[in-house]
A and B are shown apart, each in its own frame.
Chain A
């Protein structure tokens, strides 16, 4: 478990010190949200109607934008070779990487993006349910994205491939995340959607370590 914590600490440090981590994702999201009213017009009722969905899309794209770096650096500088020689299983190593990504990118964006909803005339009553759904939703997004990151670790320009691989996996997160955050907080349909969203997150939690580690092992040949 010491190794698990060491990877978390190291990757959080790297993410904070290098360009292209959490800051880039936040800047991307901000730029995206600023452009939307320019594209669909200043009608406040339309914006307010579309706001939750657009915030979900912006979260999803911002998470994707930062995933190609997740394993690529370790692959290129030889760190991955050495991970083969330590006692910590590669599966836990991959889980630590996905959790780091969530802590540095997914979680901050999930907490900030509903507030950025102001730019889209998001109703104030929607902020809390959006945050509540985006926190577990972003964890699922980070976990799923890391599978794509592991598959493309050794590919130059793999960043363009990750969205193609991962976007289909994002469909359930988007569907249930959106319906969990759009309805009335007390309505039964949104609370059951919330439970499904949690279930999707748990499934991603279980599948991610094996899938990512298997993808990385394929590079050892």
Chain B
């Protein structure tokens, strides 16, 4: 499996964010996006997730199983946690397990040590715990591409290491990770893409 971007361009509200971006990610590789604020890291992740239109160039996923569209091969974890405060931790994840067609809620919660909070409303979670709950979604159902926007924000050292370990085993299984980050969060990038200020 290989994700190929050829001469990719992004436009938001008529303003060109970037253009002529080409890269190729083979299975098992981690691509790190670096760049100043506003250089288009988040926009690129949203394009990959199918949340923004491709303004120019092309984006192809070679060798995906059963020809699934790109957006259904991706787990996108953005700045927003998509956690409902009024639902319990388990209800939040049960909902997404059903939506994604996964089942491993208990296992996934345990990976981010949230099992003790499972029956409490998500309202009481701290920022880091909400983040962990959002990241739990990555484990609900296996999808080859993880798109992470500032994945380590608000995480403590233990869970940052946990996330890195999960990402490493995801890569070892032939997955791909694309993450936008400003600092080193522990995962060694096979390749780096520096987005310039537009």
Contact = CB atoms under 8 A, between A and B. Distances in A.
B79 interface: yes
A77 B99 contact: no
Given A18-B86, A77-B82, A77-B84, A82 B76 contact: yes
Nearest to A5: B98
A10 B84 contact: yes
Interface of B: 12, 46, 49-53, 71-72, 74-76, 78-84, 86-87, 91, 94-96, 98-101, 137
Interface of A (DSSP majority class):
helix
A78 interface: yes
A75 to B, nearest CB: 10
A7 B86 CA distance: 15
Contact of A81 (B76, B94, B100): B76
A81 B52 contact: no
B78 A85 contact: no
A188 interface: no
B50 A14 contact: no
A76 B83 CA distance: 11
Nearest to B98: A6
A14 B82 contact: no
Contacts of B76: 81-82, 85
A185 B76 CA distance: 56
A77 B81 contact: yes
B52 A220 contact: yes
19 contacts: A3-B98, A13-B86, A13-B87, A14-B84, A14-B86, A18-B86, A77-B82, A78-B79, A81-B49, A81-B51, A81-B80, A82-B96, A82-B99, A82-B137, A84-B51, A84-B71, A86-B72, A86-B100, A221-B53
B50 A85 contact: yes
Given A18-B86, A84-B49, 19 more contacts: A5-B98, A6-B95, A6-B99, A10-B91, A10-B95, A77-B80, A77-B82, A77-B84, A78-B78, A78-B81, A81-B49, A81-B51, A81-B82, A83-B99, A84-B71, A85-B71, A86-B99, A87-B72, A87-B101
Nearest to A88: B99
A183 B56 CA distance: 61
A88 B100 CA distance: 9
A76 B87 CA distance: 16
A125 B46 CA distance: 58
Contact of A78 (B53, B72, B80): B80
A111 to B, nearest CB: 25
Interface in A60-90: 73, 76-79, 81-88
A220 B54 CA distance: 11
B110 to A, nearest CB: 22
Contacts of A18: 86
Contacts of A220: 50-53
A85 B74 contact: yes
